[in-house]
Structure 1
């Protein structure tokens, strides 16, 4: 069994540093790099690509909504046509930086509100999947396990990775608990480990209401901006190995 451990990185901006990128890179196998819309800037993008190549990691683009102040976590109504364009714009920018450093972009994972919107909105999901496919049909599309986004990716002809979250809680419909609720993020290492092992070994997760739902775990996400991120990543990698 091979399980990919991914992390959203490159989310610093100008004088503001977010996360511990280089430390996280020691324990994950894939990184999703912010592309300037919700976080990141050209210099941060280039530096994060350089670090990821040094650690021999899979490099993915992490396009989000144009919302620096809200970190891309606020829902903004956009049309499928707008989604197509903004994803292509951001992925293209990161792809250029990866290519310039003699690397290869491997995957795309939408960020935050865009990710959650596409998990439920078929038209938006199809627009995102088509945008990725038109750039490079060999790119892998990351999406919430069992969501409209993974369905759209498969329908478009892309290889998809069903993503699960180590440090987030789940609703009974398989969606992530909104961050506006107090129990959206897990901080206890034991609970995180228990949830991850259950998802990997039994392909299921317990929701906040106590229901148990089926889930497909191709890749596991840890958040770089979680204050416990590095410690959790180290512990999870050791446990999974």
Structure 2
């Protein structure tokens, strides 16, 4: 399936009011957030500190009279330079382009399955700056198979989970972790759509380099298409 066809498929199935946060949070309660390295106000923030970044995000949400900040798909971010897991001296191969949609909201916030799905795999990705506890669901809708990834979860979210476990659309699958377990970030959900997991289990790159961008744009289309932002 081409990227255009898959994107159209995602757009068409989002008419069913899909959500990963509580549906009582209205779309008007969400505010777009720019965490790219070109965002001038962010350049004065120590983004290597989860505390400083959390204050910046929470202040932004409050000033916007919102409940959730969202964004990040294909953003080039400076925040990853703090971790050797992403950093590279070559600007072409340094991984700093974000491939998912981030939803910034408090730790312990419940996360819901946007569609019927089966647990493909899960893992605690403990590299500094990584996802922390992560769940990947497999979906098959109208004979189209794809996956969704949920990163930066609580440890409790994967404690009793089983591969092959099924979740119905709208059922709670997890809750958000805090900086002590989620890779040292302010609490948020990293939500990503993946066509081909390429053999990965409980993990998949959520950040890529400029060199690999075209492949990942094809394999990981914009999550906003699915959630209707």
Calculate the TM-score normalised by the size of structure 2. Answer: 0.32
**Using CA pairs below 8 Å that are at least 6 residues apart, which structure has the higher relative contact order?**
2
Normalising by structure 1, we get a TM-score of: 0.31
Q: Which has the larger helix fraction?
A: 1
